[in-house]
Amino acid sequence: MEEPRKVLQVSGLHVKVKAEQGMLSLIQDIHFDLKSGQVLGLVGESGSGKTVTCNSLLQLLDRKNTIVEGSIQLNGRELNGLKAEEMRRIRGKEIAFIMQNPMSAFTPVYTIGMQFIETIRTHTMLTKKQAIELAVTSMEDVNLPDPPKLMNLYPFQLSGGMLQRVMIAISMCLRPSVVIADEPTTALDVVNQLQVLRQLDRLRLEYGTSIMLISHDLGVISELADEVAVMQHGQIVEQANVFKLFDHPQHAYTKKLLNARPAFPLQQLNRESV
């Protein structure tokens, strides 16, 4: 069987930030590879450096006050140290980003359609008409009802779950090779959460996109991830296949996380899924 291609290779990633006490190290020595079609879950408590890691991959950190060391290779191309201009061309097209709070990720003063088309047209040579068509089909892909009508609505007229699906549609419409999803379901209720996860899973199966899934919720991780990296204090303390990690956690912190799940009658659930 063909070995899946490595899409994103991160090695020796350090991020430091300037502070009053001197240089403060936020994350240290992060290594991981993301193969095509794979889902890498990144778990950890709040403040463990999950979001800093993904922001450094996207080169979104403030360049004046932070130092990013190490290598981030996307399809063999080094991202770390790229000019802001070039990075802007990659972001959205080759690496997409799904943010935690869909409500604050959109501009409230433009319609969904305008924001959608803006993203498409900055990265492609499509005409406005073609862009609208692409937008509508990708919204249909994520099961949004009546996309042409949605295009004319403003973000605040949609519910959180719908808006999150619009964001997924925007991020997936240009077929990026990597999607970074930073707590994509934390702001949603449970029913919407499952729907959004289902969309992500389908898009990955259909287009072979690699997903980096950041979450503190082990439920989300166990649903979607193939490989899991556990972060604590800015370091990856354990990285393993999801089955191996849940069955035989090695690191004490992983065990602590696994034990932190609320007790729930599992047998009831199993009967449910059968």
Partner 1 sequence: MLLQVKDVTHSYGVPRLFWRSDRRVPVLSDISLTIEQGMCLGLLGTSGAGKSTLGKVILGLEKPRQGQVFFQGHDLYSTDIQTRKVLRRDLQVVFQDCYSSVNPRMTAERIIGEPLDNYERLSLNEQKRKIGELLEMVGLNPEDMRKYPNQFSGGQLQRINIARAIALKPKMIVLDESVSSLDMVNQTHILGLLRELKSVFGLSYLFITHDIKAAYSICDGLAVLEKGELVEMFDDKDRIFASSHATVRSLISSILSEHPRHRSLSLDGDPT
Contacts (CB under 8 A) with partner 1, residues 198-227: 198, 201, 205, 216-220, 222-226
Residue 153 near residue 116 (C-beta atoms within 8 A) = no
228 - beta bridge partners?
41, 240
Residue partners of 90: CB distance under 8 A and separation at least 6: 74, 79, 82
In the block, tokens 């990013």 appear at 68
Cα separation, 154 vs 225, in Å, equals 33
When asked if residue 260 is in the footprint of partner 1 (CB under 8 A), the reply is yes
Ordered DSSP codes for 12-33: EEEEEEEETTEEEEEEEEEEEE
**In 22-141, beta strands by DSSP E:** 22-35, 39-43, 66-74, 77-78, 95-98
By CB under 8 A, name the one of 2, 46, 76, 125 that touches partner 1: 46
Amino acid at 264: F
When asked if residue 256 is in the footprint of partner 1 (CB under 8 A), the reply is yes
- Closer CB to partner 1, residue 92 or residue 249? 249
Residue 29 near residue 235 (C-beta atoms within 8 A) = yes
Contacts (CB under 8 A) with partner 1, residues 59-118: none
By CB under 8 A, name the one of 22, 64, 109, 264 that touches partner 1: 264
Number of residues this chain uses to bind partner 1 (CB under 8 A): 46
Binding mask 146-185 for partner 1 (x = CB under 8 A): -------------xxx------------------------
When asked if residue 190 is in the footprint of partner 1 (CB under 8 A), the reply is yes
When asked if residue 270 is in the footprint of partner 1 (CB under 8 A), the reply is yes
- Closer CB to partner 1, residue 135 or residue 242? 242
- Closer CB to partner 1, residue 76 or residue 145? 145
Q: What is the DSSP letter of 251?
A: S
Cα separation, 27 vs 24, in Å, equals 9
Closest contact distance (angstroms) between CB of 13 and partner 1 is: 22
Q: Which two tokens stand for residue 55?
A: 């922001």
Closest contact distance (angstroms) between CB of 218 and partner 1 is: 6
By CB under 8 A, name the one of 73, 246, 250, 251 that touches partner 1: 246
Stretch of 6-14, 64-72, 163-171, 192-200 contacting partner 1, by CB under 8 A: 192-200
Closest contact distance (angstroms) between CB of 57 and partner 1 is: 21
Q: Which of 106, 113, 109 has its CA nearest to residue 148?
A: 113
Number of separate helices (H) and strands (E) present in the chain: 12, 10
Binding residues for partner 1, rule: CB under 8 A, are: 45-47, 159-161, 186, 188-194, 197-198, 201, 205, 216-220, 222-226, 241-243, 246, 256-257, 260-266, 268-270, 272-273
